[in-house]
């Protein structure tokens, strides 16, 4: 483990050097003042390579530890009044950066397509007014995070306009951050010092906490729910007994309040069902179509263990050479 952490630390040091090289080059070229730089993780940490405390779970999980990550903006184009500040509970869905950057660049973010006989727009909204404080209202009040989870931002009630609102900003924080999970197995917890602990409850015996692929429909993960086992505290969620959390009061997702807020559960569950019904298409091609236009690549070596692409379109140039044989821990 020590050697792995040493390698990981060296990788981060190399990343830091690369970022310094890029930012230095932008400054030398006189481009830094017009640069907006975004850094964001794509998922939570997993295993000994990170610590998601105080969030629950890790990569592949619908828990906050798997889906909620930090990000930061930098560059001369960043307004001076928000430099060095934190966004607090201003949540941004990763797809929102697309529409945000398009609008900042003066380009249209529209890209409507027909899916399942229905015209569908991009799933992205401009969050720049939220981040810079010109509009404190969440532009995406309800967001389907995964195929089994969604978050809703409930704004605090507004009363008398404050001085900050008169200037076009809003100081009030959300009243609730509702998080619904309709399918999840138990996962691990982290401590502040970085230790990882798996839940010891008997109802989790033999449970698979981290499915190897998305789509958490494994029967081991899907049950039993809390009411189906002798241990009433076992927080395993499924469609018959979903889990609802108020993340503002319970960021670690420990207290299931679904029974107390059936209206919220119903609203978020309907949003998840609507997103799963026709929003996505299966990109699998028939074997005969693939064979007519593509050459199959070596799926065990070509991509170093990662899934796909496993076919190369005939006629394309610069086909990658075969990877060398894998030896040791690849």
Give the model confidence (pLDDT) of 168-195 as tens digits: 444 456 788 999 998 887 777 888 887 7
Whether the CA torsion 44, 48, 49, 50 is positive or negative: it is positive
Q: Is beta strand 176-181 parallel, antiparallel or unpaired with respect to 149-154?
A: antiparallel
pLDDT band at 199 (very low <50, low <70, confident <90, very high): low
Which single residue is written with the structure tokens 């950066």? 97
Mean pLDDT in residue range 104-110: 93
Instruction: Count other C-beta atoms under 10 Å from residue 49's C-beta.
Output: 11
> How far does CA 222 lie from the centroid of its chain?
21
Confidence of residue 284 (pLDDT cuts 50, 70, 90): low
The rounded distance, in Å, linking the Cα atoms of 47 and 58 is: 8
pLDDT tens, 239-271? 888 899 999 999 999 899 999 999 999 999 999
Per-chain mean pLDDT for the chain: 76
- pLDDT per residue over 11-45, tens digit each? 999 999 999 999 999 999 999 999 999 999 888 88
Q: What is the DSSP letter of 186?
A: -
pLDDT at 281 over 70: no
Give, in order, the Cα–Cα distances in Å from 98 to each of 93, 102, 105, 143, 283.
Answer: 10, 6, 11, 16, 22
**Sorting pLDDT into bands at 50, 70 and 90, what band is 162?**
very low
Q: 197 CB contacts (<8 Å, ≥6 apart)?
A: 188, 189, 190, 191
Reported pTM: 0.73
User: Where do the structural domains in the chain lie, given as residue ranges?
Assistant: 36-276, 285-330
Q: Are 89 and 173 in contact (CB under 8 A)?
A: yes
């Amino acid at each position: 483990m020590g050697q792995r952490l040493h390698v990981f630390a060296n990788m981060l040091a190399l990343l830091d050097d690369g970022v310094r090289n890029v930012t230095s080059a932008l400054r030398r070229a006189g481009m830094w003042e017009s640069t907006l730089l975004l850094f964001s993780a794509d998922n939570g940490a997993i295993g000994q390579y990170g610590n998601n405390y105080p969030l629950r779970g890790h990569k592949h999980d619908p828990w906050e530890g798997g889906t909620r990550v930090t990000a930061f903006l930098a560059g001369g184009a960043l307004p001076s009044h928000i430099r060095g500040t934190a966004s607090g509970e201003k949540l941004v869905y990763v797809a929102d950066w697309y529409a945000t950057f398009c609008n900042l660049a003066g380009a249209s973010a529209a890209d409507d397509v027909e899916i399942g006989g229905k015209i569908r727009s991009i799933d992205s909204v401009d969050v720049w007014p939220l981040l810079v404080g010109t509009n404190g209202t969440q532009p995406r009040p309800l967001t389907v995070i995964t195929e089994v989870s969604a978050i809703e931002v409930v704004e605090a009630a507004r009363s008398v306009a404050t001085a900050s609102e008169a200037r076009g900003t809003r100081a009030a924080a959300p009243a609730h951050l509702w998080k619904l999970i309709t399918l999840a197995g138990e996962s691990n917890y982290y401590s502040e010092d970085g230790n990882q602990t798996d839940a010891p409850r008997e109802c989790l015996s033999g449970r698979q906490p981290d499915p190897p692929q998305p789509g958490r429909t494994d029967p081991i993960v899907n049950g039993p729910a809390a009411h189906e086992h002798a241990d009433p505290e076992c927080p395993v969620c499924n469609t018959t007994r979903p889990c609802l959390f108020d993340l503002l009061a319970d960021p670690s997702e420990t207290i299931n309040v679904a029974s107390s807020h059936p209206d919220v559960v119903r609203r978020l569950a309907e949003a998840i069902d609507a997103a799963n019904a026709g929003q996505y298409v299966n990109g699998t091609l028939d074997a005969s179509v693939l064979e007519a236009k593509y050459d199959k690549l070596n799926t065990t070596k070509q991509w170093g263990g990662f899934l796909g692409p496993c076919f190369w379109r005939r006629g394309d140039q610069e086909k990658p050479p075969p990877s060398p044989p894998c030896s040791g821990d690849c």
